[in-house]
Amino acid sequence: MKNSKNYIWMALFACLFMACEEVKFGDEFLAKPPSGDVTIDTVYSNIVYAEQALWNTYATLPYRINRNWNAKGNVMGMDIMESITDLVQSHLAWGGAAKYYGGQYDAGSENSGTWTKYHFTQEDSWTGIRKAYLFIENIDGVPDVSEDYIRRLKAEAKLIIAIHYSDMFRHYGGLPWIDSSVSPSDDFNKQRLTAKETLDNIIDLIDEAIADLPWELESNDNWEGRMHRAGAMGLKARMLLFGASPLFNDDVPYLAGDASSQKMTWFGEKDPQLWVEARDAAKALIDELQLRGVYSMVNTGNPRQDFQDGYYKRGLHEVLIPVHAGYKTGDYWSQNYYFYQSAGGYGTNCWTQNYVDMFPMKNGGAIYDANGNPANGYDPNDPYKDRDPRLYETILTNGDEYLGRTAEIWIGGRERKNVTSKGRITGYGARKFWLDGDASTSVKSITHWPYLRLPEIYLSYAEAINEIEGGPTAEAYEYVNKVRSRVGVGVLEEGLNQQEFREALLRERACEFGLEEVRWFDLIRWKREQDFTKTLHGMDIKSGDGAGGQLTYNVTDQPERFWKKEWSPKWYLSAFPPDEVNKDYGLVQNRLVNKISNLKINENES
């Protein structure tokens, strides 16, 4: 990788000493490092400057709602990852989802990076990893600091490294492993590890961080956003569940080829013990919560507001790992928060009817029975009545309160002036993160990215129990119903078998975590080809007499994706950028690259 060494080193130092306004914990700006000729010795000459180096490492963490046009802030070309799941059909003409929809994505697409769901070199992941190791290697030299505090700061840096590796692992499988900072004289020649070695290394780092992180922050108002033990334990549970799932943990690889034969994209066998480890990790956090408190789901008795506050509002202890990228969002047309434009009018956040149908009735029952007939009080002529409150807080539905009035998403109404109005073209509008899209709700609001929330731990615990026991136990039901009860939804149907409970859990996770980038990883870890190839629907609502007239509801087909007829398991994991593979340091490709590129790639990975 000699061609890349100078790039890596320059990137590291270009970012290391910049100011920290982007992170901004709580309500106070942190001190800035000195300007002028800054050296390592200067930065680590006192704790204030050393801390600033760590805060800047925090700034590399993933923030997955579009903010600007740089590679990190512009996910999928102003699109969202839900657009390549069954939850959303994007109508953003220039967005990255269009490349996937048309079957135009190949490994060569990763050379630019701004249109794909995750980029190997442009997400700040490697920068964050190297900066964190540089901090770990130098913080011991800072004078007049207690050993306990030094260990805590190192633990924060280790968890940042683990987060970056966790994200890359879920996109790529086995990875080159960096265990120190990079210097210009290093022979950077790191091979890909196996998938299992990569996961084991991530878990080891998390365990090291858990040992030295505090359970609770000293002042949540000022330090909300810093790493703590509960967040670390939650990340461990997430990653062990992902590793236990069939994408990696199965009798056969998801795709044959060099990467699979070298066990870079699966573990080489099906090991039931991995589900036990996932269960135990989730239970360890649950036990600590019962013993120590502090972290809990927001639950004041107002289901809609509690759900919204749980993912959106800072400082309420439901989000175990919040990521800050600027203290406040920008104006609607601000260059600091493009999500408003893309979701509000350009067509990136168009929810599908398939997703709407996943939300149960408020009484807990599904809206259709096994024969496809309306059930549990569901009325197709009044389809949004008495539904799971998470539906209304995730998706803007016709007739809901909006901007101080009633939302009009019927064709000709104020939210969907015509059938081609892109922001509402599927018959639904943005609500989650968007809220009302105005100054009183979301524009210029204090917000964060909820990288990991507590309800995920409860649902992961229930899932692991179901897989271990061959079906749900009373305790598995308890933790699903704990998530449901917070939003005032009735309990899950009793008597489900293992497969039925698994399906119910995946729907529950979709209802709880829409737009939080959980659905994609749920689909790939369970190798859900059926959800990538099914027909997606929208809703045309028509009013015969205009405003106030009788409404009719007509389910429509959304444009067919390439995947429907040409699905391949190769889509489960991302390709590496061919430019990076060509550096010949052992980065075995996950899939076939366009043959005209003359790259040294195994063509079995198709």
Give domain limits for the chain: 1-63+119-213, 576-606
What's the confidence (pLDDT) of residue 5? 36
Q: What is the pTM of this model?
A: 0.91
What's the confidence (pLDDT) of residue 586? 81
From residue 536, give the alpha-carbon distance in Å to each of 117, 229, 358, 500: 20, 41, 13, 22
Query: Among 313, 314, 323, 316, which Cα is nearest to 298's?
Result: 316
Alpha-carbon torsion, ordered 360, 366, 367, 371, to 10 deg: 160
Please report where in the chains the tokens 């168009």 appear, as a residue: 350
Q: Which run of H or E residues covers position 396? A: strand 395-396
The amino acid sitting at 294 is V
Alpha-carbon torsion, ordered 21, 22, 28, 34, to 10 deg: -30
Per-residue pLDDT band for 338 (boundaries 50, 70, 90) equals confident
CATH code of the region 1-63+119-213? 1.25.40.890
What's the confidence (pLDDT) of residue 22? 38
Pairing outcome for strands 401-402 and 405-406: antiparallel
Over residues 228-237, the mean pLDDT reads 98
Q: How far apart are CA 572 and CA 569, in angstroms?
A: 6
pLDDT digits (tens, 9 = 90+) for 4-41: 333 333 333 344 333 333 333 333 323 344 454 568 88
Cβ–Cβ under 8 Å, residues 289 and 295:
yes
pLDDT digits (tens, 9 = 90+) for 101-151: 999 888 988 987 678 999 998 889 999 999 999 999 999 999 999 999 999
Helix (H, G, I), strand (E, B) or coil at 185: coil
Higher pLDDT, 78 or 237: 237
Bridge partners, residue 532, by sequence: none
- Average pLDDT taken over every residue of the chain: 88
Q: Which run of H or E residues covers position 538? A: strand 537-543
pLDDT digits (tens, 9 = 90+) for 505-558: 999 999 999 999 999 999 999 999 999 999 999 999 999 776 667 899 999 999
pLDDT digits (tens, 9 = 90+) for 233-265: 999 999 999 999 999 999 999 999 999 999 999
What's the confidence (pLDDT) of residue 548? 61
Please report where in the chains the tokens 């290391």 appear, as a residue: 16
The length of the chain, given as a count of residues: 606
pLDDT at residue 328 tops 80? no
pLDDT digits (tens, 9 = 90+) for 397-440: 999 999 999 999 999 999 999 999 889 999 999 999 999 988 88
pLDDT at residue 352 tops 70? yes
